[in-house]
Amino acid sequence: MKLADLDIIVTAPPAPGWGGRYWILVKLTTDTGITGWGEVYAASVGPDAMRSVISDVFERHMAGENPENIELMFRRAYSAGFTQRPDLTVMGAFSGLEIACWDILGKDRDRPVWALLGGLMNDRIRAYTYLYPEPDDPDIGGFWNDADRTAEAAARAVKDGWTAVKMDPAGPYTIRGGHMPSMSDISRSVRFCRAVRAAVGDRADILFGTHGQFTPAGAIRMGQALEPYLPLWFEEPIPPDNPLDFARVAAAVRIPLATGERATTRAEFATLLRAGGVEILQPALGRAGGIWEGRKIAAVAEAFGAQVAPHLYAGPVEWAANLHLSAAIPNLLLAETIATPFHDALIKGSIRVEAGHVRAPQGPGLGIDVDEALARAHPYTGDALHLSMQEAPCDYAQENRFEGGAPPKP
Q: What's the alpha-carbon Rg for the chain, to the nearest Å?
A: 20
Q: Is the pLDDT of residue 235 over 50?
A: yes
User: Residue 400 — pLDDT band, cuts 50, 70, 90?
Assistant: confident
Q: Which of 311, 324, 343, 386 is catalytic?
A: 311
- Given a cut of 80, whether residue 141 has pLDDT beyond it is no
Per-residue model confidence (pLDDT) at position 405: 57
How far apart CA 9 and CA 119 sit, in angstroms, is 31
Quickly state the pLDDT bin for 138 (edges 50, 70, 90).
Answer: confident
CA–CA separation, 291 and 169 (whole Å): 31
Whether residue 390 has pLDDT greater than 70: yes
Q: For residues 44 and 91, is the Cβ–Cβ distance under 8 A?
A: no
Model confidence pLDDT, tens digit, residues 301-358: 999 999 999 999 999 999 999 999 999 999 999 999 998 999 999 999 999 999 999 9
For the purposes of burial, counting CB atoms within 10 Å of the CB of 354, is it exposed (0-12), middle (13-18) or buried (19 or more)?
exposed
Residue 410 pLDDT greater than 50, yes or no: no
CA atoms of 139 and 133, how far apart (whole Å): 9
Q: What is the mean pLDDT of the chain?
A: 95
pTM for the complete prediction? 0.96
Sequence-distant (6+) residues with CB within 8 A of 157 are: 129, 131, 165, 204, 356
pLDDT digits (tens, 9 = 90+) for 349-387: 999 999 999 999 999 999 999 999 999 999 999 988 888
CA distance 193 to 226: 7
Answer yes or no: are the C-beta atoms of 225 and 194 closer than 8 Å. no
Q: What are phi and psi of 109, to 5 degrees?
A: -100, 0
The full set of domains in the chain, from first to last, is 115-365 (3.20.20.120)
Cα–Cα dist 288/264, whole Å? 4
Q: What was the pLDDT predicted at 409?
A: 52
Of these residues, 61, 211, 324, 343, which one is catalytic? 211
Q: pLDDT tens, 62-89?
A: 999 999 999 999 999 999 999 999 999 9
Q: What share of the chain has pLDDT > 70, as a percent? A: 98
Q: Is residue 211 flagged as an active site residue?
A: yes
Longest Cα–Cα distance in the chain: 63
Confidence label for 173 from pLDDT (cuts 50, 70 and 90): confident
Residues 6+ apart with CB under 8 A from 77: 57, 61, 90, 91, 93, 94
